Structure 1
Amino acid sequence: MSSASTHSERDRLLAIAGLYQAAACVQAIARHGRIETAPMQPCIYSLFQFDPSDVPAVYEYAAAVRGGAQHLLDQLVSSPRDLELTRYAITLLKHAQQLSKRRDLLTRLRTELERIAAVCQHESSLLDDTCLAQLAALYSDTVGRLEPRILIHGQAVYLKQTDNQHAVRALLLTGVRAAILWYQLGGRRWHIIFARRRLYDAARAYLADTDTDPAAPPQLD
């Protein structure tokens, strides 16, 4: 893809929406034991887009991160905000910053993801546990070792289940991938706090463009 200066607000919105979508999927698993396959699929798909032609291609189709954009919009306008979701997002952004300085980890991630992609193409779905287990192991051996560790809060009965653990770790890896993309496109961590109007406008426009009959969006104070 081209340099950060040539990318649009829509491109940056897709990246940060991908991050929030991954975080929200993690939250759903931890709180309710619910693996939401529709929003999770494009997140996992993004891990295997090594040389995408453009930003939308990272998530496969135009409306792929609508859920994440809605969560972002809710965070911008709701009171009180979901501080847990924000904490997940901020920690993933911190990990992406750390990764940018670790060429060794980035190289390992690329090599391992290419290997896992070859394995997953033989499965019926990217969400098959064979794929998720390998992605989870890769997360644990790389990003999962970075500080501060991301602490997932939820119901122990769900967090103890192996399939859920695999899904959560795989999703965290996709969140870091989205955060790296956000930085590559010129996004910054402080934009979430100090560029709220710009994010709000971009999220509203994206949700309207990908819905033929959008509901009236909430208003930013």
Structure 2
Amino acid sequence: MNREARQALALAGVFQAAAVVDELARTGHADERAWQTLVRATIDTQPETFESIYGGNHNNLRLGIETLDTVLSRGQMAPNVMRYGFSMVLLMQKLRKQPQMMSTLSERLDRVNDQARHFGDTHENVIASLGQIYQDTLSTFRYRVVVNGDPSLLQSRMMPERVRTGLLSGVRFALLWHQQGGRRWKLVLGRSGLRRALASID
């Protein structure tokens, strides 16, 4: 897999997180395969290969691939999904300027990985821990991601933790995208190249 394809897949992870957060906020549910892929990618801080981050099968990122393709082709897209995706890229950039916070995130995610081995990746104890990590780190920035949806759903049991976990996973994929050479200007000037890279993945 070439570098452009890795960039496209990592960015698809960002927009998969954006789509899942939007779905959770509006309906209280999310695509299970997409959700599990996001959680696993977030707690696996030392993947053996790039492909293992998303479980070795690009169909695990199918929701993100389709969402990103719609964004890049300027198709009909829920405004909130696009906003969440770009907001998570912005949060990633702020996080990169905070090495101490990066270190804290890494240490705490390692502990959650141990927790996940005991309970299972998407157990509510794991999700609660991931949500708390987001609250203690990324949500302390002056720039916040405001999630819109059904107020009663957003206040329901475990929903705040699930939404924060989705946002954390999006930032994780945004970091991966940056590590693979992804840059914000490419989202504006490199749309056609990203679309070609996405098409080459199938």
Which residue of the partner structure matches residue 81 of structure 2? 85
Counterparts of 1:35 and 1:162, CA distance in 2: 15
TM-score (norm: length of structure 2): 0.94
Counterparts of 2:28 and 2:43, CA distance in 1: 26
Which residue of the partner structure matches residue 69 of structure 2? 73
Structure 2 stretches lacking a partner, 5+ long: none
Which structure: greater helix fraction? 2
TM-score (norm: length of structure 1): 0.86
Specify the SS of the correspondent of 1:86: helix
Which residue of the partner structure matches residue 146 of structure 2? 151
Kindly indicate whether residue 34 of structure 2 is the aligned counterpart of residue 39 of structure 1: yes
Deviation at 1:12, TM superposition (A): 0.6
Q: Deviations over 1:126-183 (max 9, x none)?
A: 1111100010001000011123100001111211112111111011110000011111
Q: Deviations over 1:51-74 (max 9, x none)?
A: 223211111122221110100111
% identical equivalent positions: 28
Deviates more, 1:163-172 or 1:72-81: 72-81
Deviation at 1:50, TM superposition (A): 2.2
Which residue of the partner structure matches residue 171 of structure 1? 166
Which residue of the partner structure matches residue 219 of structure 1? none
Deviation at 1:32, TM superposition (A): 1.1
RMSD, aligned CA: 1.5
Specify the SS of the correspondent of 1:65: helix
Counterparts of 2:142 and 2:180, CA distance in 1: 24
Q: Deviations over 1:38-89 (max 9, x none)?
A: 1011111112222223211111122221110100111222444432211111
Counterparts of 2:89 and 2:159, CA distance in 1: 23
Which residue of the partner structure matches residue 104 of structure 2? 108
Max Rg structure: 1
Kindly indicate whether residue 4 of structure 2 is the aligned counterpart of residue 9 of structure 1: yes
Say which of 125, 135, 141 aligns to 1:130: 125
Counterparts of 1:7 and 1:147, CA distance in 2: 36
Counterparts of 1:103 and 1:16, CA distance in 2: 22
